[in-house]
Amino acid sequence: MEFNLNFGWSGSIGEVILGATNTDGGTRKRSYHIGGSSNLPFIDQKEFSESPLIAFEICDNVQYWSPIAKSACGDVINDVKDWAKTAETSYDADLVRLHLTSTRERGLRDVSFVKKVVENVLSATGLPLIIEGSNEPSIDSEVFQQCGEAGQGERLLLGTAEANRYRSIAAAALAYNHSVIAQSPIDINLAKQLNILLREIDVPHDRIVIDPYTGALGYGFEYSYSAMERIRFSGLKGDADLTMPMICSPIDTLNIKEVREADIQNQNTIAVMWEFYTGIAAAVAGAEIICIRHPKTVELLKKAFVALKTKNIYQG
Amino acid sequence: MALKALDIYKLLPKKNCKECGDPTCLTFAMKLAGGKGDIDLCPYLDENAKTVLGATTRPPIRLVKLGVGERSISVGEEFVFYRHEKTFYHQPGIFFSVSDNDTIDQIKKVTTIVRDETLTRVGVDLHFSGLAIRNESGSADPFARVISAIEEIADLPLILISDNPNALNNALVHCGTYRPLIYAADSENYKVLCEISKKHGCPLVVKASGLEKLAQLTKMCTKEGVTDLLIDPHPQTLGDFITASSTIRQLAITRMAPDLGYPVFYDASKTGQQDAAIALGIVKYASVIITDPFSTASTKAALTLRQNIYTDPQKPIQMNPGLYRIGSPNKDAPVLLTVNFSLTFFTLEGYLESTRIPCFMLIVDTEGLSVLTSVAAGKLNETLVRDSIKKFEVENEINHRKLIIPGYAAPLSGRIEEATGWKVLVGPRDAAEIGEFLIQEWKK
Amino acid sequence: MPTVTFLPRYHKIDVELGCTVLDAAQRAGLNINVVCGGQGKCGKCIVFIQRGKIIFDHQKYAQFFTQDELAQGGCLACTTTIESDIQVLVPDTTLIQEQKILVEGQKTEIEFLPSVKKYYVELNLPTLTDPTPDLSRLLWMIQKNGGPVAEKIYAPLEVLRDIPAILRNSDWKVTGTIALVPGVYRLVDLQKNDTSKRLYGASVDLGTTTVVVYLWDLVNGKVVGVSSNYNRQISCGEDILARVNFARKNGLTKLQVLAAESINLALTTASDTAGIDREDIYEVVVAGNTVMTHILLGIDPAYMISEPYVPVVRRALSVAASRIGITCNSNGGLFVFPAVSDFIGGDVIADILTCGMVDREEISLLIDIGTNFEVVLGNKEWMFSCAGAAGPALEGGEVLFGMRANPGAIERIAINPNTFNTTYSTINNTKPRGICGSGLIDLLAELLRTCVIDRTGRINLGIKNKRIRQGKYFPEVVVTWAKESEIGKDIVITENDIKNLIMSKASIHAACITLMKAADITRHQISKIYFAGAFGNYLNKKNATTIGLIPEIPIEQIENIGNGAVAGANIALINRRKRKALDNIALKIAYIELNAEPTFMDEYTSSSFLPHTDLSLFPNVQRMLDECRLQRE
Q: Do B347 and A42 touch (CB under 8 A)?
A: no
A105 pLDDT tier (thresholds 50, 70, 90)? confident
Whether B414 and B367 map to the same domain: the answer is yes
Q: Tell me what pLDDT residue C167 has.
A: 93
Stronger pLDDT, C233 or B2, i.e. the higher one = C233
Indicate whether C549 belongs to any domain.
Answer: yes
Using CA atoms, how far residue A16 sits from A33, A125, A183, A228, in Å, is 6, 21, 16, 17
Whether B328 and B390 map to the same domain: the answer is yes
- The CA radius of gyration of chain B, in Å to the nearest whole number, is 28
Whether C478 and C375 map to the same domain: the answer is no
**Residue B192 structural domain:** 64-309
Q: CATH code at C550?
A: 3.30.420
Q: CATH code at C24?
A: 3.10.20.30
A-facing residues of B in 363-382 (CB < 8 A) are 370, 372-373
Indicate whether B315 belongs to any domain.
Answer: no
Indicate whether B217 belongs to any domain.
Answer: yes
**Residue A174 in contact with partner chain C when CB distance is under 8 A:** no
Q: Tell me what pLDDT residue B301 has.
A: 96
Q: Which residues of C touch A187 (CB under 8 A)?
A: 605
Indicate whether A261 belongs to any domain.
Answer: yes
Q: Do C456 and A163 touch (CB under 8 A)?
A: yes
Name which of B370, B371, B351, B444 is nearest B411 in CA terms.
B371
Q: CATH code at C331?
A: 3.30.420.480
Indicate whether A262 belongs to any domain.
Answer: yes
Indicate whether A9 belongs to any domain.
Answer: no
Q: Tell me what pLDDT residue C96 has.
A: 60
Whether B292 and B338 map to the same domain: the answer is no
Q: CATH code at B401?
A: 3.40.50.11600
Indicate whether B316 belongs to any domain.
Answer: no
The predicted model scores a pTM of 0.84
Whether C138 and C285 map to the same domain: the answer is no
Whether C509 and C388 map to the same domain: the answer is yes
Taking each helix axis from N to C end, the angle separating B211-223 and B190-200, rounded to the nearest 10 degrees, works out to: 50
How far apart CA B201 and CA B179 sit, in angstroms, is 7
Name which of C483, C399, C408, C476 is nearest C441 in CA terms.
C399
Whether B274 and B241 map to the same domain: the answer is yes
Please determine, for the modelled complex, whether the ipTM score is greater than 0.90: yes
How far apart CA C563 and CA C288 sit, in angstroms, is 11
Q: In what order do the strands lie in the sheet with C173-181?
A: C116-122, C173-181, C184-192, C153-154
Q: Is the dihedral of CA C10, C15, C17, C18 positive or negative?
A: negative
Whether C368 and C432 map to the same domain: the answer is no
The beta strand positions in C436-519, using DSSP E, are 468-470, 475-480, 491-494
Per-residue pLDDT for B263 more than 90?
yes
Over range B125-134, report the average pLDDT: 94
B377 pLDDT tier (thresholds 50, 70, 90)? low
How far apart CA A291 and CA A189 sit, in angstroms, is 23
Question: What is the distance in angstroms between the Cα of B373 and the nearest Cα belonging to chain C?
Answer: 9
For B149, residues 6+ apart whose C-beta sits below 8 A from its C-beta are B104, B107, B108, B111
Q: Tell me what pLDDT residue C303 has.
A: 76
How far apart CA B100 and CA B140 sit, in angstroms, is 10
Q: Cβ distance C588 to C559 under 8 Å?
A: no
Q: CATH code at B42?
A: 1.10.15.40
Question: What is the distance in angstroms between the Cα of C515 and the nearest Cα belonging to chain B?
Answer: 11
For C468, residues 6+ apart whose C-beta sits below 8 A from its C-beta are C420, C452, C459, C460, C461, C475, C476, C477, C478
How far apart CA A58 and CA B201 sit, in angstroms, is 57
* B24 vs C391, C587, C598: nearest CB: C587
Whether C536 and C451 map to the same domain: the answer is no
Indicate whether A69 belongs to any domain.
Answer: yes
Indicate whether A3 belongs to any domain.
Answer: no
Q: CATH code at A207?
A: 3.20.20.20
Among C296, C314, C336, the domain boundary falls at C336
Indicate whether B31 belongs to any domain.
Answer: yes
Q: Do B26 and C588 touch (CB under 8 A)?
A: yes
Indicate whether C632 belongs to any domain.
Answer: no
**Residue B82 in contact with partner chain A when CB distance is under 8 A:** yes
Q: Which other chains touch chain B, taking contact as 3+ CB pairs less than 8 Å apart?
A: A, C
Whether B173 and B298 map to the same domain: the answer is yes
A308: nearest CA in chain B?
Answer: B239
Q: Tell me what pLDDT residue C239 has.
A: 76
Whether C179 and C144 map to the same domain: the answer is yes
Query: Which H/E stretch holds residue A63?
Result: none
Whether C507 and C386 map to the same domain: the answer is yes
Q: Do A167 and C605 touch (CB under 8 A)?
A: no
Q: Tell me what pLDDT residue C37 has.
A: 61
| Torsion angle (degrees, nearest 10) of CA B197, B202, B207, B212 | 80
Q: Do B212 and A1 touch (CB under 8 A)?
A: yes
Whether C470 and C579 map to the same domain: the answer is no
Over range A17-39, report the average pLDDT: 95
Lowest mean pLDDT of A81-85, B295-299, C89-93, C344-348, name the range.
C89-93
C455: nearest CA in chain A?
Answer: A197
For C607, residues 6+ apart whose C-beta sits below 8 A from its C-beta are C505, C506, C507, C509, C510, C513, C548, C613
Whether B365 and B300 map to the same domain: the answer is no
Total of domains in chain C: 5
Listing DSSP states for C260-313 in one string gives HHHHHHHHHHHHHHHT--GGGEEEEEEEE-HHHHHHHTT---GGGSSTT---S-
Indicate whether B255 belongs to any domain.
Answer: yes
Indicate whether B213 belongs to any domain.
Answer: yes
**Residue A298 structural domain:** 51-309
Pairing of the two strands C210-217 and B423-426: unpaired
A179 pLDDT tier (thresholds 50, 70, 90)? very high
How far apart CA A67 and CA C437 sit, in angstroms, is 56
Indicate whether C582 belongs to any domain.
Answer: yes
Whether C379 and C517 map to the same domain: the answer is yes
Total of domains in chain B: 3
Using CA atoms, how far residue A161 sits from A211, C452, C455, in Å, is 9, 20, 16
Lowest mean pLDDT of A40-49, A185-194, C274-283, name the range.
A40-49
Q: Which residues of A touch C604 (CB under 8 A)?
A: none
What tens digit of pLDDT does each residue of B345-372 get?
888 888 888 788 899 999 999 877 778 7
Per-residue pLDDT for A45 more than 80?
no
Q: Cβ distance B63 to B250 under 8 Å?
A: no
C456: nearest CA in chain B?
Answer: B376
Whether C380 and C510 map to the same domain: the answer is yes
Indicate whether B148 belongs to any domain.
Answer: yes
Whether B265 and B327 map to the same domain: the answer is no
Whether C493 and C507 map to the same domain: the answer is no
Whether C145 and C176 map to the same domain: the answer is yes
Pairing of the two strands C222-230 and C281-288: unpaired
- The SS3 assignment for A241 reads helix
How far apart CA A210 and CA C335 sit, in angstroms, is 60
Total of domains in chain A: 1
Q: Tell me what pLDDT residue C102 has.
A: 40
List beta partners, residue A181: A209
Q: Do A252 and B432 touch (CB under 8 A)?
A: yes
Whether B82 and B35 map to the same domain: the answer is no
Whether B350 and B435 map to the same domain: the answer is yes
Residue C159 carries which side chain, given as an amino acid letter?
V
List beta partners, residue B174: none
**Residue C165 structural domain:** 116-192
How far apart CA A154 and CA A173 sit, in angstroms, is 11
Size of interface A-B (CB pairs under 8 A): 201
A193 pLDDT tier (thresholds 50, 70, 90)? very high
Question: What is the distance in angstroms between the Cα of C503 and the nearest Cα belonging to chain B?
Answer: 7
Q: CATH code at C141?
A: 3.10.20.880
Among B309, B341, B363, the domain boundary falls at B309
Q: Tell me what pLDDT residue A29 has.
A: 96
Using CA atoms, how far residue B90 sits from B59, B70, B261, C31, C60, in Å, is 13, 16, 15, 65, 68
Q: How many CA atoms lie within 13 A of C477 on its CB side?
A: 29
Indicate whether C199 belongs to any domain.
Answer: no
- The SS3 assignment for B164 reads coil
Size of interface A-C (CB pairs under 8 A): 31
Whether B343 and B424 map to the same domain: the answer is yes
Pairing of the two strands B119-121 and B93-99: unpaired
Over range A141-146, report the average pLDDT: 94
Q: Do B237 and A307 touch (CB under 8 A)?
A: yes
Stronger pLDDT, A233 or A136, i.e. the higher one = A233
* A276 vs B275, B347, B436: nearest CB: B275
Over range B209-214, report the average pLDDT: 94
How far apart CA C67 and CA C194 sit, in angstroms, is 60
Q: Tell me what pLDDT residue C391 has.
A: 66
Indicate whether C578 belongs to any domain.
Answer: yes
**pLDDT mean for each 10 residues of chain C (633 residues):** 84 86 80 68 82 88 80 88 90 60 51 90 89 91 89 89 93 93 83 94 92 92 87 81 84 93 93 92 94 91 70 80 93 91 90 92 93 90 87 75 86 93 91 92 95 94 94 91 91 92 92 93 95 75 95 94 89 89 87 82 91 94 90 74
C633: nearest CA in chain A?
Answer: A201
Q: For chain B, what is the mean pLDDT?
A: 90
Indicate whether B314 belongs to any domain.
Answer: no
A89 pLDDT tier (thresholds 50, 70, 90)? very high
